[in-house]
Chains A and B, each alone.
Chain A
Amino acid sequence: MVPIEIRDVSLIYDTPGGKVPGVKDVTLNISASEFVCIVGPSGCGKSTLLNIVAGFLSPAAGEIRIGGKKVDGHGMDRGVVFQDFAQLFPWRTALGNVAFGLEMKGVPKDERERIAHEQLRLVKLEKFTASYPHHLSGGMQQRVAIARALAYNPAVLLMDEPFAALDALTRDDMQRLLADVWRETRKTVIYVTHNVSEAVYLADRVIVMTPHPGTVKAEIRIPLPRPRDPLSVEFLDFQKELLRHLGHGASASEPTKANGKTTA
């Protein structure tokens, strides 16, 4: 697996209403096989940063290196999972969706279907290979999206709030599943979330960002053994620490918002 270096990355959006800072001077070194979560209030530039790493946006300044190689546009060394369920191709079955990347790579049909089957088994959807996305629940669709991003075996997995639109129970299941998948595949992961408990559950390290302009405010290492118990004292302590970072320095409405999330 490969490390990711993000060095002094800045991006400013040019909108009709003027210039909007996306991210400013973000520097971040992620080791190979590390699971990093980025948290921060809405609009602080999490998605912007992820899209830069994915290669969908090019930074105005700074650079990204993945495995030592400078990022220039998107590439198959990175798998991307978006928040939107609509990311799956409705005209392809679950299997067809998962096989897409391999098809683009020119992998023969038998081989790519075998791999796609395997990936769907990994996300516990082996019974739904022939289903079209509109017959799958939101959580199942997101699992297909994860399998699709893993299928062509990228070294890096980039995820932008993939479970944000799910109900709390499904989300718990998904987090457990993702933790298992990560343990098996050992990809380098950048995972964006609003949810503090999700970050503590999944991450080796949590990056806290603040808005206007989007910068890295704090980094918190989570050395807890896995699988983690969200009700343990240590877990809750980390959660509190994160909330403190989020509350402090954000706009006045943010602490209540962040607190509201975790009490639920």
Chain B
Amino acid sequence: MTESGQHRRSLVRGTLALLVAAAAYEAMARSGYFAPALLPTLPAIGRTLFASLADGSMIEHAAFTLYRVMFGFALSVVVGLPLGILMARFQHVGNFFLPLVSALMPIPSFALVPLFMLWFGIGNLTTILIVFYAATFPMIFNTWSGVRSVNPIWLRAAGAMGASEHRLFWKVIIPGASPFIITGMRQAFLRAWIAVVGAEMIAASDWGLGWVIFDAKEFLNTDTMLASLIVIGITGFAFERFVFGSIERATVMRWGMMRAAKG
């Protein structure tokens, strides 16, 4: 089938790009211009990565980070989804929250870390709240746009078939807005993932990938830092691709409400 052919081709292209980048890095690391302690070679990074995976420490750090991301992300969905819907459905709710949301959204979540540390201390609570802050706004905005773009003819048709306000909500508005809602979740997750590492650097103690990077600086462990970065990149990518990618394929793409890009 052409679809799987396309899939394979994009896979090959992606692998090629990664290999080229890796080769360029390796050439730089071995050129002798940089101290090996600052720019470790790929095999050195690989050894550190493997060792930290083998003794379970890296997995434990990643698990902590993932826990904070998922908790904050879930919270952002639980708050952002209903709020976005209410803002779109009821004019006065929209009028009340829109200026608030617009004013809060541009504040980088990282800038709030010191403040949240003073309020909530060091540890999970602060990091989760930072993640929540970062992820909520894309969730709200996308849901808000999605609900407003639900085709009014669906609402009319459903109304003519006797749908109550409650049924309309679950059976028409949510699925009708689903392309936007899923996009909102994807963006929220990415924002969450970016935010967690920054928050962990300052506000986490002893656990989490962000903390590993920050801690490694003390001992000039650049290989550990880079190994963590690889784990951060791969985990974020895998989630975005496989979890949200499959949700998208199982819903909006299957329904023809969103299409895969060509070529």
Contact = CB atoms under 8 A, between A and B. Distances in A.
DSSP class of A's interface residues: helix, strand, loop or mixed? Answer: mixed
10 contacts: A55-B160, A74-B159, A80-B157, A80-B160, A82-B156, A90-B257, A104-B164, A132-B255, A133-B256, A134-B256
Contact of A104 (B151, B167, B175): B167
A64 B256 CA distance: 39
B154 A87 contact: yes
Contact of A134 (B160, B171, B178, B255): B255
B154 A104 contact: no
A71 interface: no
A152 interface: yes
A101 B161 contact: yes
A90 B151 CA distance: 11
A179 to B, nearest CB: 23
B229 interface: no
A130 to B, nearest CB: 12
A54 B256 contact: no
B163 interface: yes
**Max count, chain A CB within 10 A of own CB: residue among B154, B175, B255, B256:** B255
A84 interface: yes
Interface residues of B, number: 23
Given A75-B162, A89-B154, 10 more contacts: A55-B160, A76-B162, A82-B156, A86-B151, A89-B158, A100-B158, A103-B171, A104-B158, A132-B256, A152-B161
Given A82-B153, A87-B153, A89-B175, A132 B160 contact: no
Interface residues of A, number: 27
B130 interface: no
Contacts of B188: none
A56 interface: yes
Most buried by A among B156, B157, B158, B176: B157
B254 interface: yes
Contact of A56 (B156, B163, B256): B156
Contacts of B52: none
B145 interface: no
Interface string A37-62: 00000000000000000111000000
B163 A86 contact: no
Among A74, A79, A82, A91, the one with the most B-chain Cβ atoms within 10 Å of its Cβ is A91
B251 interface: yes
A78 interface: yes
B181 to A, nearest CB: 12
Nearest to A106: B162
Nearest to B168: A104
A133 B164 CA distance: 24
B182 interface: no
Contacts of B154: 86-87, 89
Interface in B133-158: 151, 153-154, 156-158
A105 B162 contact: yes
Contacts of A100: 158, 161, 163, 171
Nearest to A74: B160
B153 A84 contact: yes
Contacts of A82: 153, 156-157
Contacts of A56: 156, 159-160
A125 to B, nearest CB: 17
B172 interface: yes
B227 to A, nearest CB: 43
Interface in A105-135: 105, 132-135
A101 B153 CA distance: 15
A52 to B, nearest CB: 13
Interface in A128-164: 132-135, 148, 152
A219 to B, nearest CB: 27
A237 B154 CA distance: 40
A89 B163 CA distance: 14
B153 A86 contact: yes
A90 B256 contact: yes
Given A86-B151, A86-B153, A132 B161 contact: no
